[in-house]
Amino acid sequence: MDIHKKKRDDNIDLFLRDRYCKFLNNLQLKPILICMPDNEGFVPVIEEKELKEGKMKLVRVEGTPVLFIKQKGKIYVIDDRCPHMGCGFSGGSLDGELVICPCHGWRFNLESGDYEDAPSYVLVKFPFKVESGKIWVKVQDDF
């Protein structure tokens, strides 16, 4: 391969990556450009210190909208899409250990994942671990 062509291609890749990051930043999503999973399939996503008590943080992980919540010192990692109609919980609110969907007011228990009026609707909760201050998440379907 021509060394000049490779350098030009690398510059184009950096330019596109920079544009993509700016686009995601405008959406207030954290870009995850290099997702190197560990041997269990967990991907490093955010620093634990980025989570604020009583707040939600939306991050797109391998194309999946993942919502991080810190309530009463405990971390919850859920799919941002409500199992009822797919509305984003990130536009909703928190009430203790309940996350409330902004579309229809459905309330889901963060601990059990159950919808309070019909336990057949359950939050998708992602397995995660905290190592050296970093939160690692597994978003694969086989958990």
- Render pLDDT for 53-72 as a digit per residue (tens, 0 to 9): 999 999 999 889 999 999 99
Tokens of 97: 């250990």
Residues above pLDDT 70, as percent of the chain: 71
Q: How many CB atoms sit inside 10 A of residue 63's CB?
A: 7
Q: How far apart are CA 11 and CA 112, in angstroms?
A: 48
Given a contact cutoff of 8 angstroms between Cβ atoms, the answer to whether 115 and 122 are in contact is: yes
Residue 125 · residue 137 · CB < 8 Å: no
Please give the model's pTM, rounded to 2 decimal places: 0.72
* Category of 73 on φ-ψ map: left (φ > 0), alpha (ψ -120 to 50) or beta: left
Q: How far apart are the first and last CA of the chain?
A: 42
Determine the 3-state secondary structure of 123 from DSSP.
coil
Mean pLDDT calculated for residue range 34-50: 79
